């Protein structure tokens, strides 16, 4: 029982974010004593959150020195956004504290089969597809991690016959020491270089998804890095998926997805557009093809309309379709969305700078964009890349720089004609203007609906 594990431990929660806040009452209910620490000052919390913390915590520490108060703590749950190598954590560990995170603790103690999904692009859709396929098969399953609600406070309701599907970010995998039973890596391209010290550290974090030699690994053969990872993983079952190569795993032949020699799904039956979504289905089939039927896969394919903020049709006005692809926080993700369109589009891009290169992104813009509207920190870099690509082609591309997000949406609308697509696909994170990509997408939808 997880209650026995908690006992009367003093548990510090470092970073009172979305994933950690529900754990406060959970640990107290099980008999634990909770210490909450957050960099935000007290006045930055809403009254409801403060009341919850004051009612349940034995100590509260806010402000710049929030990590200096772990004395007497048996365990520290680190928020994924706080690096594990902070000196205050090392000092607390020397004094006997255990440093972990919600997901690491959950995977270590979960009685059910666990399926973890990571990657630079496509992990949320792949996670959702796996969950929907398992649910259709009649299995009792749970989903969480970097998507949905926290998992740890549901652990007492999860049994050995259940399946848990977990989306895992590089932040959550950083310094993770346990692995799920099945690990899926959709792809790896440069991302989050504002958090990780370099690209290699980002790759190493992703590889922590399969530390256990018994983990089944599902990887993208068409991505150089994940292919090498799969080739190095010789301890247990490795399944490659590929659009072009028959590896004996999941492949495409005559517009049908095969698992080994067995036909599983016609590509034409997939409701959500784009070759990147075909790859997401291939990854999902590689992960749970032995746990679900072809009928289960087909049912999901023809009914699943996609996840919010992922090439989501907002509305059609005056013959112009507006799409919300706010999840696209990298050039590769935006490129995949643009390639899924059957025409050149009006693109709104730009946002927070994660220190990733836009050098090759200009070629995609030149090929798939008829009018480019830019906003945010990365606007100059995207503009330079697009101008270089257009110059090489000896063509032209209208590019507008905007001061506000509202202006960008209006300019994109004004540039579009009947039959056009206007797409918000920023190729950048949201944190320069918004709390997260969901807020950015929701504000985009509000602005579009007011046009």
Helix (H), strand (E) counts: the chain: 16, 20
Task: Pick the range with the lowest mean pLDDT from 59-63, 144-148, 286-290, 298-302.
Answer: 144-148
Q: How does the average pLDDT of the chain come out, rounded?
A: 94
Q: What is the pLDDT averaged over residues 149-164?
A: 94
What is 9-100's CATH number? 3.40.50.720
78: β partners? 14
pLDDT digits (tens, 9 = 90+) for 186-228: 999 988 888 888 999 999 999 999 987 778 999 999 999 999 9
Between CA 332 and CA 325 the distance in angstroms is 13
The answer to whether residues 265 and 255 touch, using CB atoms and an 8 Å cutoff, is no
Give me the residue spans of the domains in the chain: 9-100, 104-303, 312-449
pLDDT digits (tens, 9 = 90+) for 237-260: 999 999 999 999 999 999 999 999
Fold of the 312-449 domain: 3.90.190
CA dihedral 250, 313, 380, 397 (to 10 degrees): 90
Instruction: Tell me the backbone φ, ψ of residue 157, rounded to 5 degrees.
Output: -100, 0
pLDDT digits (tens, 9 = 90+) for 336-385: 899 988 899 999 999 999 999 999 999 999 999 999 999 999 999 999 99
pLDDT digits (tens, 9 = 90+) for 393-419: 999 999 999 999 999 999 999 999 999
Asked if the domains 104-303 and 312-449 are classified in one and the same CATH topology, the answer is no
What pLDDT does 192 receive? 84
What pLDDT does 300 receive? 98
Q: Check pLDDT > 90 for residue 326.
A: yes
**Where is pLDDT greater, at 431 or 185?**
185
Residues 6 or more apart whose CB falls under 8 angstroms from that of 173 comprise 118, 205, 206, 208, 209
What is 104-303's CATH number? 3.40.1190.10
Q: Confidence band (pLDDT; 50, 70, 90) for 106?
A: very high
Q: Confidence band (pLDDT; 50, 70, 90) for 2?
A: confident
> At CA 404, angle to CA 400 and CA 407, rounded to 5?
60
């Amino acid at each position: 029982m997880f209650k026995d594990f908690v006992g009367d431990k003093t548990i510090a929660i470092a970073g009172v974010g979305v994933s950690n806040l529900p754990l406060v009452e959970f640990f107290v209910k099980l008999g634990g004593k909770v210490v909450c620490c957050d960099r935000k000052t007290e006045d930055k919390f809403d009254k409801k959150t403060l009341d919850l913390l004051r009612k349940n915590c034995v100590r509260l520490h806010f402000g710049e020195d929030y990590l200096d108060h772990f004395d007497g703590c048996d365990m520290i749950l680190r928020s994924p956004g706080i690096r594990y190598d902070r000196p205050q954590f090392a000092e607390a560990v020397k004094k006997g504290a255990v440093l972990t995170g919600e997901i690491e603790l959950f995977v270590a103690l979960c009685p059910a089969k666990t399926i973890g999904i990571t990657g630079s692009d496509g992990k949320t859709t792949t996670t959702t597809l796996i969950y929907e396929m398992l649910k259709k098969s009649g299995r009792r399953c749970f989903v969480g991690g970097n998507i949905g609600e926290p998992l740890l406070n549901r652990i007492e309701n999860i049994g050995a016959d259940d399946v848990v599907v977990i989306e895992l970010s590089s932040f959550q995998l950083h310094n993770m020491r346990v692995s799920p039973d099945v690990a899926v890596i959709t792809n790896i391209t440069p991302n989050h270089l504002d958090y990780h010290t370099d690209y290699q550290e980002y790759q190493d974090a992703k590889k922590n998804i399969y530390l256990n030699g018994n983990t089944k690994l599902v990887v993208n053969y068409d991505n150089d890095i994940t292919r090498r990872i799969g080739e190095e993983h010789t301890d247990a079952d490795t399944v490659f998926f590929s659009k072009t190569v028959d590896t004996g795993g999941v492949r495409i032949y005559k517009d049908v997805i095969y698992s080994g020699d067995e036909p599983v799904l016609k590509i034409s039956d997939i409701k959500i557009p784009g070759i990147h979504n075909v790859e997401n289905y291939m990854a999902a089939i590689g992960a749970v093809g032995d746990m679900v039927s072809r009928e289960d896969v087909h049912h999901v394919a023809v009914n699943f309309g996609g996840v919010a903020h992922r090439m989501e049709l907002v509305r059609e006005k005056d013959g112009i379709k507006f799409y919300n692809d706010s999840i696209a926080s990298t050039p590769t993700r935006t490129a995949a969305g643009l390639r899924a369109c059957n025409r050149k589009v009006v693109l709104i891009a730009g946002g927070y700078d994660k220190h990733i290169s836009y050098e090759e992104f200009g070629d995609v813009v030149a090929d798939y964009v008829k009018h480019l509207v830019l906003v945010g920190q990365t606007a100059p870099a995207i503009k330079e890349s697009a101008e270089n690509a257009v110059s090489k082609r000896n063509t032209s591309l209208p590019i507008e720089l905007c001061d506000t997000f509202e202006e960008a949406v209006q300019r994109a609308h004004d540039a579009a004609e009947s039959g056009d697509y206007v797409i918000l696909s920023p190729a950048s994170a949201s944190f320069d203007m918004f709390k997260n990509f969901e807020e950015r997408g929701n504000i985009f939808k509000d602005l579009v609906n007011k046009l």
